[in-house]
Amino acid sequence: MSVTEIAEPTANASPEEQVWLGLYRQIFRIRAFEERAYRLFMEGLVKGTSHLSLGQEAIAAGFGEAMRADDYTFATYRGHAHTLARGTPMAGVMGELLGRANGVCGGKGGSMHLTSVEHGAMGSYAIIGAHLPIANGAAWSAQVRGSGQVTVCFFGDGTTNIGAFHEALNMAKVWNLPVVFVCENNLYMEYTPIGSVTAVEHPAADRASAYGLESIIVDGNDPDAVFEVATAAIAQARDGGGPSLIEAKTYRHGGHSRADPGKYRPDEEVAEWLSRDPVPTYRQRLQERGVAEEALVSIEAEAGADVDAATEAAKAAPPPAVEAAYTNVWADGGAAWRN
């Protein structure tokens, strides 16, 4: 199960309810963080730009709950959600966005380069498609060591038209690697609809058969559906069954980044997807299942308190020391690392 903990009022829930509440805790926690990150950006406190996962939380939540604590996550520059879903302390993620010394990368990476190896978050990558072959490397390492670890690699729909996507899928299948590739298809690359530049309807799933993989499409706004698909794919990889490619259909509520108002999207399209917002729709589903309102309120209050505490910790932290600029930036060129 997840590395996250269930709030106290939910401790007596059934195993099935624990899963539901874990998923809700994840999506609400991510939503609260991303909304605060947006506000801090507008106040000029977030350094550089930021790419938020507002509307896409269910994908990170579903996989975060399905993964083992020592599994690996590789994400894109839109990686706040995936980093948090692995249990990375919120204060460290917020500190990194604000460029403070308490950030997970010491304030040197910023929004697009979040990494917490301790929590299996093996980096957010700003170069499109660059992390897919690296994810294969992590999976190969686990395979050689016989550790049972699984690598899950997230990427956007635009990555499916990058060479590294095809190279990585082919290698993963040939070597039968324990890796799960997840395309977060939010219908747009940066400003361009993926459908206008791709020959197939489903940019990831329709190409799976070319690499001997099953075509898997999941509603990326449904935490239960994502969790079910994630659980099956991860179990397959862990049991030696090889890689999977999953296309999760979702939608970002805002533009590509904070510099993008997203006005190129049809109003009716935006309205339709907003009606499928995973946070309120999943909350309603849990209520219909008989989950106690007290449990949901407790999760929401906990998330709000964590965001407030993380914000204050980041604001109070100093910027990185000047000397930090000279660390972790070069290698001596020697061969010692080979040994």
**What share of residues in the chain are helix, strand, coil (percent, to 5)?**
50, 10, 40
Q: Is residue 72 in a domain?
A: yes
Query: Is residue 190 predicted with pLDDT exceeding 50?
Result: yes
| Whole-number Å distance between alpha carbons of 290 and 283 | 11
* pLDDT at 3 (0 to 100): 40
Strands of 121-125's sheet, edge to edge? 121-125, 72-76, 151-156, 179-185, 244-249, 216-219
Contact 210, 177 (CB under 8 A): no
Residue 104 belongs to domain with CATH number: 3.40.50.970
The residue-averaged pLDDT of 275-292 equals 98
pLDDT band at 5, cuts 50/70/90?
very low
Query: Is residue 270 predicted with pLDDT exceeding 70?
Result: yes
Q: Is the dihedral of CA 139, 69, 26, 88 positive or negative?
A: negative
pLDDT band at 290, cuts 50/70/90?
very high
| Whole-number Å distance between alpha carbons of 319 and 110 | 12
Going by C-beta distance under 8 Å and a sequence separation of 6 or more, which residues neighbour residue 224? 20, 23, 62, 282, 285
pLDDT band at 137, cuts 50/70/90?
very high
Q: Is residue 330 in a domain?
A: no
What's the total number of domains in the chain? Answer: 1
Question: What pLDDT, in 10s, does the model give residues 97-131?
Answer: 999 999 999 999 999 999 999 999 999 999 999 99
| Whole-number Å distance between alpha carbons of 213 and 136 | 16
Measured at the alpha carbon of residue 175, what is the angle toward residues 180 and 139, in degrees to the nearest 5? 45
Q: Is 44 left (phi over 0), alpha (psi -120 to 50) or beta?
A: left
| Whole-number Å distance between alpha carbons of 252 and 157 | 12
Phi, psi of 94 (to 5 degrees): -65, -40
Domain with 254 in it: 52-314
Query: Residue ranges of the alpha helices (H) in 43-69?
Result: 57-66
* pLDDT at 245 (0 to 100): 98
pLDDT band at 4, cuts 50/70/90?
very low
Q: How many residues does the chain have?
A: 339
Pull the structure tokens for residue 39.
Answer: 């506000």
Q: Is residue 89 in a domain?
A: yes
Higher-pLDDT residue of 20, 3: 20
Question: What pLDDT, in 10s, does the model give residues 18-58?
Answer: 999 999 999 999 999 999 999 999 999 998 888 999 999 99
* pLDDT at 11 (0 to 100): 64
Number of neighbours of residue 246 by Cβ within 10 angstroms = 28
Q: Is residue 81 in a domain?
A: yes
* pLDDT at 337 (0 to 100): 58
| Whole-number Å distance between alpha carbons of 139 and 211 | 17
Q: Is residue 293 in a domain?
A: yes
Q: Is residue 200 in a domain?
A: yes
Q: Is residue 284 in a domain?
A: yes
- Quick one: which of 177, 214, 188 has its CA closest to 168? 177
Q: Is residue 38 in a domain?
A: no
